[in-house]
A and B are shown apart, each in its own frame.
Chain A
Amino acid sequence: MATPLLEIENLHAGVCDKEIIKGFNLTINEGEVHAIMGPNGAGKSTLSNVLCGKAGYEVTAGSVRFKGKDLLRMSPEERAREGVFLCMQYPVEIPGVPTTAFLKHSVNAVRKHHNLLELDTMEFIKMVREEGKKLGIDGEMIKRPLNVGFSGGEKKRLETLQMSILKPALSILDEADSGLDIDALKVVAEGVNGLRDGQRSMLVITHYQRLLNYVVPDFVHVYADGRIVKSGTKELALELEEKGYAEFVREK
C-alpha cells in the first residue's frame, strides 16, 4: 500500500489579507510524480513558497503534513533538512560566497540533521565532481560566487546539482523549464529523472507541457483560482496544451 509523503488538506493562504490559495487538497505518495499546471496568476508560486516556508505568506486554514509531521510549524531550514527541496524559478545571486562553500554548508547541515557525519573537504569535492559531471558542471563553475553571472541554463543546472547531492524526499520544481533552451532542458530533466527511484517524490509546477515530455508525471492536476479543479493522468497535460486553460479560468 502506498505511503503518503505529503498531505495537503483544505489549505488556505495568502499575502496581505488577499487570499490566493483557496481550499487546496493534494496527497503525494512515496515515489509519485505529480504535475500541477495552471494559468498565470493561479497562485502556483504562492503554493511552492508556502510549502517551503517563505516569510510573508499567511496560512489562514488547513494543514500540511510531511512524513506525518506538521510541515507548517517548521522553519524553512527544518523543512529542507527533513527533505523538502524547492528548485527555484529564479535562484538568487550571492556575491562573495563561493558556490562550493555554500554547497558544503548545505550538505553538512542536512547530514547533521540525520545524524550522519559531516563530509570533509576531500569527500565533499569528490561527490560534487561526480554529480556535477553528469550535469555538465565543471570545477571552474562551482569556484565562482554563488549564481553570480551564471547564465539561465547554468543556474538551473546548479539547482539540479543541489537536488542530486541533497537527495530530498520531495522535490518541488517551480517553473524549472523557464529560460532554458532545449539542450539545457534535457540535461536538467535527466538530472531530475536520475532521482526517480520509486521512493522519492516530485511536485512539478509548470505553465507549459514541454517539461512533462521529459519528466513524465504519474498525475496531472489543473490548478486555477487557488485550488485544483481537475485531476488526471499525463494525457491531461496534452489536452491542456491543445485547448489551453480557458475552460478552467471561465469556471471562476
Chain B
Amino acid sequence: MGGLVQQQDFDAQAPWLSALRNAGLQAFEKQGFPTARTEAWKYTKPRALNVDDYVLSVAGGKTEKEEIPFDCYSFYFNNGVFDGNVPELPDGVEVMSLAQAAQTDFAQDYLGQAADVADKPFAALNQYYLSSGVCVHILPFVQLDKPLLFINHTLAGETNLLMNLRNLIVVENGAQAELVEYFHYTGTVKSRYLTNIVNEVFLAPDSVLKHYKVQAEAFKAGHIALTAVNAEKNAFYKSLTLQTGADIARNETHVKLLSEQAGAEVDAAYQMNGWATIDTTTDIEHLAPCTHSEQLVKGVVGGEAKGVFQGKIHIAPHAVKTEGRQLHKALLLSDKAEVDAKPELEIFADDVKCSHGAASGELDEEQLFYMQSRGIGRETAKQILIDAYLEELIAKVEDENIRKWIKLKIKTDNL
C-alpha cells in the first residue's frame, strides 16, 4: 500500500491525537499487510486488497438519496467522508463530525479505547488516518425515538479509493438507541475500492444499543469493518449484519463484557456467489461473572464463493455463571462453494455454560420438487427456500419496518 505517507484531511492535531495516530502507524508497520500465513487471515485471503495505488478519499462525492422505508435520523457519508449535515435531533442526543469532536476532551476519553489495533492491521491503518466519521453521544436515560441511519455511499469509478471511517458511539447510563448502517454504491466499477471502517461503541451501565447493518458494496470492492464494543454492567449490545456485497469482506465484532450482567447478541447473515469471500469474525470476551452472549450466523453461498466464520468466545477465570452460545450454519448452492468455520472457545472459569456448533448443507431436492409440482418455477422455489433459511435471523429484528427493509436487501438475482 503506497499511500501510507499521505497526510490526513483534518487539521486538528492535538498532541493526544498525533500520539494516537502514530500508535496506529507503528502497529500497522509492526504487523505489515496480512498474508496467507497470518493466522487471522488464513481463510480470507487479503491479497486482492493490497493495491499499490490507493487514493485516500478526502472530498465527499455527491449525496445519493435512496428511499428508506422507515423513519430515522439520516447521516450521509459519500466516498467515505461524512457530509457534515446533522439532522435535527431530540434533546439528549449530540452528534458531531469526527473533526469537530477531535478538538474535545470527550473524544480524547474514548477514541481508540475500545478498538485494539495490536493484532488488527486494518484497524491500525484506520487509526493512523482517522479520516472521517461521526461521534454520537446519547445522554443518560434518553430513549431515542427513531434509529440513527448512517448511509455510506460510494460512487465507484476510475480510481482505487481507500476510505478510512471512524465512528464513535457513546450510550450513557440507562439510555437506549438503535443504529442502522448501510453501505451501497452506484456507478460503474472500473477499479477497486476499500472501505476500512472502525466503530467504537461504549455502553454505560443499563444502556442498550441495537445495531443493524447492511453491506451491499460493489462486487469489486473490499469491505473491512471492525465494531469494538465495551459493555458495562447490565448493558446490552444487539446486532444483526447482512452482507451481500464486496469480493473480500470481513465484518468483525469484538465485544468486551466488562461487568456483571452485561450481554451481547451478535447475529449475522451473508449471501453471495461469484468468487467472493465473505467473512464474519467475532470475539466475545466475558470478563465478569454472570455475563451472557449469543451468536447465530447463517450463510448462503453459491458459485465459487467462500463463506468464512471465525467465532471466538473467551471466558476469563473469574467470569463464573457466564453463558456463551454460538451457532454457524451455511447453505451451499454449488459444488464449488466453500465454507470455513473456525469456532474457538477459551474457557478459564468453572461453572459456565458454553456451546458452539456448525452445520452446512444443500438445498433439499425433495422440497424443490414438491414446489415445482405445484407450478412454482424452480428458481422461485430456490429463492423461497433461501428466504426461509434466512428468515430465522431476519425475524430477530424487532422493528417491523427495518425488518422489511433488510429483507428487501437479500439479493434475489444472483443465484
Contacts and interface: CB of A to CB of B under 8 A. Distances in A.
A249 B385 CA distance: 43
A94 B374 CA distance: 14
A102 B384 CA distance: 9
Contacts of A143: none
Interface stretch (A20-28, A105-113, A208-216, A227-235): A105-113
Contacts of B388: 94-97
Given A77-B376, A92-B366, A97-B384, A102 B371 contact: yes
Interface in A110-125: 110, 113
Nearest to B370: A92
Interface residues of B, number: 22
Contact of B373 (A76, A94, A101, A102): A76
B369 interface: yes
A166 interface: yes
A210 to B, nearest CB: 25
Contacts of B367: 92, 94
Contact of B374 (A55, A80, A113): A80
B370 A91 contact: yes
Contacts of A97: 384-385, 388
B370 A77 contact: no
A131 B384 CA distance: 25
Contacts of B371: 94, 102, 105-106
Interface in B296-346: none
A80 B371 CA distance: 10
Interface in A15-52: 52
A102 B367 CA distance: 12
Given A96-B388, A97-B388, A105 B376 contact: yes
Contacts of B87: none
Contacts, number: 72
B365 to A, nearest CB: 7
A95 B390 CA distance: 11
A105 B382 CA distance: 13
Contacts of A81: 375
Contacts of B392: 96
Interface residues of A, number: 28
Contact of B372 (A75, A95, A101): A75
Contact of A96 (B366, B375, B389): B389
B116 interface: no
Contact of B380 (A53, A95, A109): A109
B377 interface: yes
Nearest to A108: B375
B404 interface: no
Nearest to B392: A96
Among A53, A54, A91, A101, the most chain B Cβ lie within 10 Å of the Cβ of A54
Contacts of A101: 384
Contacts of A86: 373
A88 interface: yes
A109 B383 CA distance: 15
Contacts of B376: 77, 102, 105-106, 109
A150 to B, nearest CB: 13
B399 interface: no
A206 interface: no
B378 interface: yes
A177 to B, nearest CB: 20
B391 interface: yes
Contacts of A80: 372-375
A100 interface: no
A201 interface: no
A162 interface: yes
A7 to B, nearest CB: 21
A195 B377 CA distance: 25
Contacts of B385: 94, 97
Given A94-B385, A96-B392, A105-B380, A166 B373 contact: no
A81 B377 CA distance: 10
A88 B372 CA distance: 13
Interface in B195-229: none
Interface string A165-192: 0100000000000000000000000000
A81 B373 CA distance: 9
Contact of B375 (A54, A91, A113): A113
A166 B374 contact: yes
A166 B374 CA distance: 9
Contacts of A52: 373
Interface string B344-373: 000000000000000000001111011111
Nearest to A90: B366
Interface in A41-83: 52-55, 75-77, 79-81
Nearest to A94: B367
A113 B364 CA distance: 26
B209 to A, nearest CB: 28
A96 B395 CA distance: 11
20 contacts: A53-B373, A54-B369, A55-B365, A55-B369, A75-B372, A76-B372, A76-B373, A76-B378, A77-B375, A77-B376, A79-B373, A85-B373, A88-B370, A94-B385, A96-B388, A102-B371, A109-B374, A110-B375, A166-B374, A166-B375
Given A77-B372, A162-B374, 12 more contacts: A52-B373, A55-B365, A76-B369, A77-B375, A80-B375, A97-B384, A97-B388, A101-B384, A106-B374, A109-B376, A113-B375, A166-B374
Interface of B: 364-367, 369-378, 380, 384-385, 387-389, 391-392
Interface of A: 52-55, 75-77, 79-81, 85-86, 88, 91-92, 94-97, 101-102, 105-106, 109-110, 113, 162, 166
6 shortest A-B CB distances, which residue pairs?
A96-B388, A76-B372, A80-B375, A106-B374, A109-B375, A110-B375
